[in-house]
Amino acid sequence: MAGFTQPEILLLLKLVLAHCLSDFALQPTAWVENRARRKFRSRKLYYHIGITGVVTFLLSQSWQLALWITVTHLLIDLWKAYQKCTTLYFLIDQLLHFLMLGVGWLYYVNGHLAPDVVLNNYRFMVYLTGFFIATFPLSIVIKVLTAKWGTGNKRRPKPMKDTAEDNSLEGPKVPAVPEDSRWNELKEAGRWIGIIERVLIISFVLLDQYEAIGFLVAAKTIIRFKETDQRKSEYFLFGTLLSISLSIFLALVMKMALGLE
């Protein structure tokens, strides 16, 4: 990595390892559940923070970094304790931890944050811009381009039966999940699958592993064609081909930009 020495990169790797050890390997599930219930009153929260500080110090041999990571980790985990237990908040929590880790590391190795060391790195900015475009911006583009077919797949909710007709049925009535709700959940899952798919395809193109793209496309196409609704199958197939085409195009542009360095 341009601009940093091997010992500095080694320190960064140690900080990442310290985070992974303390936040995953050394934090029992019971501690996480206790924190979610008791919030700031949870003793397990402070046990976890103490372990985080000790592990960070042992690996980095820097009390300044250990103190910074400990304090920011505590604040982030306190915030997380008051949020819902969802994938989104988990990802935000981890992103904040790694962001604070990076800020502390940059300040430690440079004596100041020096964001220009990263932001003026040509290859880093090509990768960052390309992979970011492949996530949410392309998701929005694909959503707009497939909206005509997507809305056509929504089924109108069936009218409710009259209560007099239901009196002949025995047993409690279990409310059915609305079709629109199931469709929205399916589209949300498809959006994240598409993001992962595009990141993988761009990575394969940059590594010149085009065969892997073929296996990925074949596997997804086979799964999609199990769908009995022909219109929905065509909608998914169109979205998949569009996502793949845009990913390959974006990856080729990135390779061209990297070749100009």
Whole-number mean pLDDT of the chain?
A: 82
Same structural domain, 61 and 103: yes
pTM of the entire structure?
0.63
Same structural domain, 110 and 66: yes
Residue 165 contacts residue 213 (beta carbons within 8 Å): no
Q: Write the pLDDT tens digit of every residue in 182-232.
A: 656 666 777 888 899 999 999 999 999 999 998 888 887 777 666 555 666
Work out the percent of the chain whose per-residue pLDDT is above 70. Answer: 77
Same structural domain, 135 and 248: yes
Q: Write the pLDDT tens digit of every residue in 39-50.
A: 999 999 999 999
Same structural domain, 68 and 142: no
Look at residue 174 and tell me if it is in a domain: no
Burial of 87 (0-12, 13-18, 19+ CB in 10 A): exposed
Find the mean pLDDT for residues 93-118. 82
Residue 76 contacts residue 70 (beta carbons within 8 Å): no
Instruction: Fill in the amino acid letter for 96.
Output: L
Reported confidence tier of residue 162, pLDDT bands at 50, 70, 90: very low
